[in-house]
């Protein structure tokens, strides 16, 4: 068989290209540190490599989520620290000075103004954001979480109809009306709206809560009778009024003195008259809606105040039954009645049945959780909701953190007590907000009104509210430690995955360098042999 020159040339060029291709492939493997570039080259390892790469990609997402969460916790902690260790200390110092010193009303007004400034600053602190997200607004990211309730003009501060104080809101809801867990609230209505239902005999859709007697409004006897008897435009409402009578001795002119009448007396040349004086008061109420509930709802609420129990119809009982219930500490005795029938007889009765109502049926906006997947195995229930504990909830409910609702201090000192006035009381049960910011505003208003004892009572309550903030700071610190742990864990796992990735798709560098050098030597040898294989041209002889 005759071997032509063209065949030799093609054979040489084919081998040359093959060796050059192998040389380039070795260089590419060394440069990329990969053993193959198509799944078809190593299907089994390629499948394993895809799983490893997916795990590495997930780790990058988890790390990003963890770093965001860590930054969120840190920013929240710093802002709460400002409240707990700056605002609280300064406010407490101001209140201590005002309540334990001798200040004129002008000086108290100055301190009240300073307290208002601190409260305004606390609202700004609580409305801080991180990476364009409200820190304490929960899922609400479209408006400031905390604010003051406004009138219809959106500018003027609305004042509480009972206390006359500013009303702190959380996501638009008065914070004193929000449940302890910060998720539901009582819906406020106006006095007029309440009486519209009340006049129609509808007491199952509305309710009212009386504030302390320091806010009772003195009215005339005529106004008292109108409310009591229902002659003033609304249905009879005896629970909305009360009267109080005391013997009052007052100085009179000598001409008015009636000798021999026991009501009149004289002493040191002065004349006095002692008579029974009656004052009339309208109770200060806040008004709300309510919805029907069941006895099971009431039992399951565990006395958290969200479900209330009220008597339905009453039945007449004997005095003996009444006294027996009292002596046996009947848990329902608070609903029993002993009333004057108007003819001097006492009528005893007890509830024949009960009705139950949900008074916190409304959900606070923005109180839903915000779950972040950090790689601990996120799972969902049948309703498609994330199962608690399988992801991190970064939603922080500012209402729950700073305090909600109100509390009663029994027998609080009345700073305006006048022992010469029989209608003046040395103490009575006072109601206060449990919210950190609302307490500061209320204390400022108390000082402006000269009510030092009410302002003084807020000091301990502020301490309690501040404890709640400190607890949240501790929780945030623990959460930050947790994110650090998961970040370290992810870093270790990433190193393990990278080693595994090198096993399933990485090349053996020592082997590949040896192959490249051998291929390079072969290639150089081919180039040297080309002089003997390729035919000479005329230019080789010139």
Cβ atoms of 362 and 187 closer than 8 Å: yes
Residue 512 pLDDT exceeds 70: no
Mean pLDDT of the chain, nearest integer: 87
How much is the pLDDT for 132?
A: 85
Residue 461 pLDDT exceeds 90: yes
Closest among 171, 108, 86 to 362, alpha carbons compared: 171
Cβ atoms of 271 and 251 closer than 8 Å: yes
- Within 10 angstroms of residue 269's Cβ, the number of other Cβ atoms is 6
Would you state the structure tokens that stand for residue 147, as one six-digit string? 């604010």
Residue 64 pLDDT exceeds 90: no
How much is the pLDDT for 409?
A: 93
Q: How far apart are CA 214 and CA 446, in angstroms?
A: 12
At 57, is the secondary structure helix, strand, or coil?
helix
Beta partners for residue 271, in sequence order:
252, 266
4-28 pLDDT, tens digit per residue, is 667 666 776 776 677 666 666 666 6
How much is the pLDDT for 31?
A: 60
Predicted confidence band of residue 403 (pLDDT cuts 50, 70, 90):
very high
Residue 429 pLDDT exceeds 90: yes
Residue 508 pLDDT exceeds 70: no
How much is the pLDDT for 209?
A: 95
**Where is average pLDDT lowest: 424-428, 467-471, 515-519?**
515-519
Would you state the structure tokens that stand for residue 432, as one six-digit string? 């206060």
Q: How far apart are CA 194 and CA 125, in angstroms?
A: 36
How much is the pLDDT for 534?
A: 56
Can you list the alpha helix ranges (DSSP code H) found in 342-451?
398-402, 436-448
Residue 425 pLDDT exceeds 50: yes
Which is higher by pLDDT, 167 or 505? Answer: 167
Beta partners for residue 148, in sequence order:
168
Cβ atoms of 483 and 71 closer than 8 Å: no
- φ/ψ (deg, to 5) at 196: -60, -45
Reported in sequence order, the residue ranges of 229-380 that DSSP labels E, i.e. its strands, are 241-252, 264-267, 270-282, 285-289, 291-293, 307-311, 314-317, 337-340, 346-351, 354-358, 362-363, 371-372
Q: Using only C-alpha atoms, what is the Rg of the chain?
A: 41
Would you state the structure tokens that stand for residue 182, as one six-digit string? 């910060």
Would you state the structure tokens that stand for residue 191, as one six-digit string? 């006095």
HSE at residue 129, side-chain half, CA atoms within 13 A, is 11
Would you state the structure tokens that stand for residue 496, as one six-digit string? 């393990």
How much is the pLDDT for 539?
A: 47
How much is the pLDDT for 386?
A: 80
Distance set, CA 429 to CA 211, 213, 239, 376, 413 (Å):
10, 8, 18, 51, 9
Which is higher by pLDDT, 170 or 372? Answer: 170
**Where is average pLDDT lowest: 363-367, 378-382, 426-430?**
378-382
Residue 289 pLDDT exceeds 70: yes
Would you state the structure tokens that stand for residue 98, as one six-digit string? 């005002």
Closest among 170, 174, 177, 140 to 159, alpha carbons compared: 174
In order of their start, the domains of the chain are 60-184+363-489 (1.20.1330.10), 192-310+352-358 (no CATH), 313-351 (no CATH)
Residue 276 pLDDT exceeds 60: yes
Mean pLDDT of 65-74: 90
How much is the pLDDT for 497?
A: 66
Closest among 348, 324, 320 to 336, alpha carbons compared: 348
How much is the pLDDT for 51?
A: 73
Predicted confidence band of residue 52 (pLDDT cuts 50, 70, 90):
low
Would you state the structure tokens that stand for residue 269, as one six-digit string? 């040349």
At 378, is the secondary structure helix, strand, or coil?
coil
220-241 pLDDT, tens digit per residue, is 999 999 999 999 889 999 999 9
Mean pLDDT of 57-63: 80
How much is the pLDDT for 360?
A: 96
**Where is average pLDDT lowest: 116-130, 285-299, 383-397, 490-504?**
490-504
Which is higher by pLDDT, 304 or 508? Answer: 304
Residue 471 pLDDT exceeds 60: yes
480-502 pLDDT, tens digit per residue, is 888 888 878 777 767 776 667 66
């Amino acid at each position: 068989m005759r071997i032509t020159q063209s065949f030799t040339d093609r054979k040489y060029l084919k081998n040359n290209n093959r060796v050059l291709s192998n040389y380039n492939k070795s260089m590419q493997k060394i440069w990329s540190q990969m053993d193959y570039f198509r799944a078809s080259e190593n299907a089994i390892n390629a499948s394993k490599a895809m799983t490893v790469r997916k795990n590495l990609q997930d780790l990058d997402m988890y790390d990003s989520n963890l770093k965001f969460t860590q930054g969120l916790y840190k920013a929240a902690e710093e802002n709460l620290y400002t409240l707990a260790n700056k605002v609280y200390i300064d406010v407490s110092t101001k209140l201590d000075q005002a309540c334990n010193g001798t200040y004129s009303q002008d000086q108290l007004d100055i301190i009240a103004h300073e307290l208002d400034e601190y409260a305004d600053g606390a609202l700004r602190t609580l409305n801080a954001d991180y990476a364009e997200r409200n820190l304490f607004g929960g899922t609400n990211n479209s408006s400031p979480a905390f604010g003051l309730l406004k009138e219809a003009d959106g500018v003027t501060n609305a004042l509480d109809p009972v206390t006359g104080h500013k009303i702190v809101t959380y996501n638009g809801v008065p914070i004193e009306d929000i449940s302890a867990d910060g998720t539901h609230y009582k819906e406020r209505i106006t006095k007029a709206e309440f009486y519209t239902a009340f006049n129609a005999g509808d007491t199952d859709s509305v309710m009212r809560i009386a504030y302390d007697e320091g806010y009772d409004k003195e009215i005339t006897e005529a106004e008292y009778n109108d409310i009591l008897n229902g002659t003033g435009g609304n249905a009879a409402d005896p629970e909305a009024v009360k009267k109080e009578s005391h013997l009052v001795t007052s100085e009179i002119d000598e001409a008015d003195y009636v000798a021999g009448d026991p009501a009149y007396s004289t002493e040191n040349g002065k004349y006095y008259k002692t008579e029974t004086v009656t004052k009339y008061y309208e109770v200060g109420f806040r008004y709300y809606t309510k919805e029907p509930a069941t006895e099971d709802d009431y039992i399951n609420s565990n006395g958290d105040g969200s479900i209330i129990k009220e008597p339905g119809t009453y039945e007449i009982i004997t005095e003996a039954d009444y006294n027996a219930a009292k002596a046996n500490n009947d848990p329902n005795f608070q609903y029993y009645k002993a009333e004057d029938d108007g003819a001097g007889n006492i009528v005893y009765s007890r509830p024949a049945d009960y009705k139950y109502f949900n008074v916190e049926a409304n959900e606070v906006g923005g109180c839903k959780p915000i779950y972040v997947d950090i790689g601990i195995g996120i799972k969902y229930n049948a309703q498609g909701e994330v199962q608690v504990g399988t992801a991190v909830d970064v939603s922080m409910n500012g209402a729950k953190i700073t305090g909600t609702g109100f509390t009663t201090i029994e027998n609080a000192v009345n700073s305006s007590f006048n022992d010469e006035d029989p209608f003046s009381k040395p103490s009575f049960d006072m109601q206060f907000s449990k919210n950190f910011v609302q307490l500061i505003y209320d204390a400022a208003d108390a000082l402006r009104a000269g009510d030092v004892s009410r302002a003084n009572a807020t000091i301990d309550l502020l301490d309690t509210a501040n404890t709640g903030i400190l607890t949240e700071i501790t929780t945030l610190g623990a959460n930050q430690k947790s994110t650090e742990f998961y970040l370290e864990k992810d870093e270790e796992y990433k190193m393990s995955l990278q080693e595994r990735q090198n096993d399933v798709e990485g090349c053996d560098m020592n082997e590949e360098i040896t192959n490249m050098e051998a291929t390079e030597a072969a290639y150089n040898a081919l180039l040297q042999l080309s002089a003997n294989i390729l035919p000479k041209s005329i230019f080789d002889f010139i």
